[in-house]
């Protein structure tokens, strides 16, 4: 049966920008109560303000378990929580050999430990109630590694593995886990990154629509755009020599290497501080 969005209480991390903002706005329009968590509390509050009194915002540092507890205490009046959208993430790009150690750790702190911390903070209540839904926004590069984003790709591979393990762990308790894998999305995170040949860039609203579909009818894994999932699964089953040829033809393996540094400068400076 399809679930109703109206009446759900949902947490969206990284909800002040991009995919998170589009998701919060979409779910609010559909009648959900939404708690927007973001490191930029002021921007999060500005996003929440026009969405009604069932949408609230509070500062959230997803890398810090204590911040999660403070956030949940501040937005707790909207709960108990039906869904957690682990969306916060950063994507600094460049050669691993030139990547500062601090940036490497920051990528994993936000992209991996952010998801783990959120799950630890919210899932126990779902288990106690016997129902709930965790939606983890990863990336297509969590299935298909791409040069010039090794740490980012590794972090999203980790989110894929974590999601699959938690699905098996939480399913007996009635808690669903869905993995969302977008390709290049037109947000500041992907500024200056070209789309792969034959794959159109998607919008934050496109991803939000797929997240809505997941909440209505839980699935293990959804790609954005959705048609990419079938060809990708097929390609992964082919011998490496064949996939290498296909990769050259599609140009997919070079998209991060071809990113425009000037177009990414402002985002890179913020993301490398962990404020993506």
Active site residue 152: yes
Q: Give the alpha-carbon dihedral of 72, 169, 227, 185, to 10 degrees.
A: 30
| Helical pair 41-48 and 18-29, crossing angle rounded to 10 deg | 30
Q: How many CA atoms lie within 13 A of 88 on its CB side?
A: 37
> Rounded CA gap, 158 and 177, in Å?
15
How far, in Å, CA of 216 to CA of 155, rounded?
27
Helices 150-170 and 114-129, interaxial angle, to 10°?
10
How many alpha carbons fall within 13 Å on the CB side of residue 17?
Answer: 20
Radius of gyration from C-alpha coordinates of the chain: 18
Distances (CA, A) of 108 to 31, 103, 105, 139, 227: 34, 9, 5, 14, 29
Q: Which of 68, 71, 113, 152 is catalytic?
A: 152
Residues in the chain: 276
- φ, ψ of residue 256 in degrees (nearest 5): -75, -35
Q: Tell me the two tokens of residue 73.
A: 């205490």
Residues assigned a catalytic role = 152
């Amino acid at each position: 049966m399809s679930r109703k969005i109206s009446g759900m209480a949902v947490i969206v991390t990284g909800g002040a920008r991009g995919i998170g903002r589009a998701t919060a706005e979409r779910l609010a329009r559909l009648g959900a109560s939404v708690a927007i968590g973001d490191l930029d509390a002021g921007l999060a509050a500005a996003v929440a303000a026009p969405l009604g009194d069932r949408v609230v915002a509070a500062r959230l540092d997803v890398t810090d378990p204590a911040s999660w507890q403070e956030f949940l205490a501040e937005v707790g009046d909207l709960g108990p929580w039906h869904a957690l959208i682990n969306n916060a993430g950063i994507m600094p790009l460049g050669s691993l050999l030139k990547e500062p150690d601090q940036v490497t750790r920051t990528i994993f702190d936000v992209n991996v430990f952010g998801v783990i911390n959120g799950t630890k903070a919210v899932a126990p209540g779902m288990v106690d109630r016997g129902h709930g839904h965790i939606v983890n926004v990863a990336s297509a590069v969590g299935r298909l590694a791409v040069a010039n984003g090794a740490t980012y790709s590794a972090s999203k591979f980790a989110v894929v593995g974590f999601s699959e393990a938690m699905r098996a762990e939480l399913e007996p308790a009635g808690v669903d886990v869905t993995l969302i894998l977008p390709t290049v999305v037109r947000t500041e995170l992907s500024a200056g990154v070209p789309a792969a040949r034959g794959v159109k860039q998607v919008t934050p609203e496109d991803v939000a629509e797929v997240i809505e579909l997941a909440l209505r009818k839980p699935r293990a894994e959804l790609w954005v755009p959705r048609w990419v999932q079938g060809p990708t699964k097929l390609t992964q089953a082919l011998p490496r020599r064949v996939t290498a040829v296909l990769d050259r033809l599609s140009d997919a393996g070079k998209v991060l290497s071809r990113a425009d540094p000037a177009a990414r400068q402002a985002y890179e400076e913020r993301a490398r501080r962990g404020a993506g």
